[in-house]
Amino acid sequence: MNQTERGQKTTQRIMYSSWDLFHEGGSFPWRKPRRVVSLFLLVSCLLSPLFLDGCAFVPSTGPFASNVLDKKSNSIPVENANENIAHQLWQEALYRNQENIDKTLAALGQPAIQPLKIAVGDSITLSLWSQSAGSSQQSMLQTAPHETDMGAYTVALNGTVDLPYVGPVTVAGLTPQEADKIIAARYAQAQQFPKAEAVVTIKHNKGQHVVIIGSVNKPITLDWPEGGLTVSEALAAAGGFRVFGASYKGGDVAVNNVMIVRRAKDYSLPLKTVLEHRIQLIPGDTLVVRQQPLVRATCLGAGWESPTVINFDKQPTLAKVLSLGRINWRTAQGRGVFVFKHSFRVIYRVNIDTPEGMRTAQWFPIANQDLVYIPPSRSTSLQQIMQIIMSAAYPLTLAASFAR
């Protein structure tokens, strides 16, 4: 007789016993407390095999530690982590982070400082400095150079400005110094201010600017200055960054990242790196100061109070994740905290029930999108089974109490 046939025979015997219990003496069992107790045991016997066999009626809380370690049910390699492995992984994590920063800095490079040029749509002002002609007997004060304000002008779509006495003059694409010479020559040709010196100043530069937005105190568009602009100077002009940003609710990371958008590409750097290096900007750059987690750790399993994702702005350790993730010590199996690595196919097991395991957790690095899994203890499933059995038998005992 195989196991299935034996189970069927056992079920039949239980059902026959229940029939006799209900029909013995032709009376309903609620009238006899001893029969109520027997009925309670009968229900427990009927329900227990179902739950103990792991059927779908028991809520799943994830695989047990034994299932993760079993090579028959798990094809992912499992490696027991120790302090040496944790130190090695920590150094590798720091190296990878620094390598990514170096690559970003190299991609940004050190561009040459862009000269300030006049562009279409710019607003410029013009002043003419001239010296009155006089005799040798006149004093130097009477013949000293004086300024004539010629007003403000907007560069037209064709790149010209319409100046009094001389008409349209092309200035787009020129530096202010180059425009000075051309305008002075035009006035000399027109015999207006023949010895005048022209001074062109860009009042508002539409063609060359830098935009600073995000978690700063004063989002601003900066005109491109003569001599160039660095990221640190741009942040200072925007009033500095907000410590926690506008959307901070107490659980987010602090402002820690600056994204530079340049020519349809974006370059992300830690705020600390940006302040430590003199990163030269070019006209057209956009700076976005933001809260960008360096690591997002996913916490799953019955060992946690609830599934959660924890954000970190610095490289975290397993101990840091465990301290912030709110472990449920009533259901957690501390002998097996499993870290499913995202970047390569391996599972690391850390036993936090031992001092060495606690020390390992202090150094074990958690990378972005790693999954920290705490399996349920065996007693958790037993408690669930007993709760379901008691819930099913409660109406019987309640009815018996009223029948007395």
Q: What is the pLDDT of residues 96-152, one digit of tens each?
A: 999 999 999 999 988 877 888 898 988 999 998 876 655 454 554 455 677 888 889
Which residues make Cβ contacts (< 8 Å) with residue 42, sequence separation at least 6?
A: 14, 17, 18, 21
| pLDDT recorded at residue 22 | 44
Q: How confident is the model at residue 387 (pLDDT cuts 50, 70, 90)?
A: low
Residue 344 confidence (pLDDT): 87
Output the CA torsion sign for 53, 55, 59, 65. positive
Looking at residue 398, its pLDDT comes to 57
The 10s digit of each residue's pLDDT in 188-198 is: 888 777 678 88
Cα 397 from chain centroid? 54
Report yes or no: 249 and 308 within 8 Å, Cβ to Cβ. no
Q: Rounded mean pLDDT of 260-285?
A: 91
- pLDDT (mean) for 357-373: 94
Mean pLDDT of 5-14: 51
Q: Reduced to 3 states, what is the DSSP secondary structure of residue 316?
A: coil
Q: Quick one: which of 349, 322, 328 has its CA closest to 61?
A: 328
In whole angstroms, give the CA distance from residue 359 to residue 101: 29
Give the residue among 260, 259, 319, 266 at the shortest CA–CA distance from 290.
Answer: 259
Mean local confidence (pLDDT), 344-354: 91
Output the pLDDT for position 393: 54
In this model, does residue 60 exceed pLDDT 60? Answer: no
What CA–CA distance (Å, rounded) separates 286 from 231? 10
pTM value is 0.64
- pLDDT at residue 171, as a whole number: 93
Least-confidence region, from 19-33, 177-191, 201-215, 361-375 = 19-33
Give the mean pLDDT of 346-375. 93
Q: What pLDDT, in 10s, does the model give residues 197-237? A: 889 988 888 878 899 999 899 999 998 888 889 999 999 99
What count of other Cβ atoms lies within 10 Å of the Cβ of residue 18? 17
Q: Which of 185-194, 244-253, 366-375, 389-398 has the highest mean pLDDT?
A: 366-375
Q: Is 167 left (phi over 0), alpha (psi -120 to 50) or beta?
A: left
- What is the pLDDT averaged over residues 75-79? 92
pLDDT band, very low/low/confident/very high, at 403 (cuts 50, 70, 90)? low
Q: Which amino acid is at 402?
A: F
55 falls in which pLDDT band (50, 70, 90)?
very low
Query: pLDDT tens digits for 35-45?
Result: 555 555 555 55
Cα angle value 46/48/49 (rounded, 5°): 85
Q: What is the pLDDT of residue 24?
A: 47
Average pLDDT across the chain, whole number:
78
54-73 average pLDDT score: 71
State yes or no: pLDDT of 29 exceeds 60: no
Contact 123, 153 (CB under 8 A): yes
Q: What whole-number percentage of the chain has pLDDT above 90? A: 38
